[in-house]
Amino acid sequence: MSCKVCRDPEAKRPRQAWGCDADAAEDVWTIECVRCGGQSPTCERCAGTGRESGRRCPQFLLAGRHDIREVLRLYAILSSHGLLPNEGGALDQSPSFMAAVRLIDNELAEIRKRKA
């Protein structure tokens, strides 16, 4: 689904289905648990399922989170052009950025695996 569809105020059905304004009736996204990485049957965050999900649009979660938007923008530049945000190589980048790269890469690999 493209955000362009939901930005139309008349697009009530897609906005409801994706949780743009309130919780959707069903989960609209699912990810591997960020606390246990899907490895702990006793994880409190995911209740041992290894997955987390949400009923709101991912854009809603990013509202006001310029730090996350910036990381995603920098990842896109790295992915498409091979350019890192800071001078030098991987060891010259912030640990948080490199952790975000690993997280995004892992999630993209999971998506590709499911589509195959």
Is the pLDDT at 95 greater than 80, yes or no?
yes
* Full-model pTM: 0.55
Model confidence at 35, pLDDT cuts 50, 70, 90, reads confident
Report the pLDDT averaged over residues 55-78: 85
Task: Name the residue ranges covered by the structural domains of the chain.
Answer: 1-63, 64-116
Query: Phi and psi of 107, rounded to 5°?
Result: -65, -40
The C-alpha atoms of residue 65 and residue 79 are separated, in whole angstroms, by 21
Is the pLDDT at 42 greater than 60, yes or no?
yes
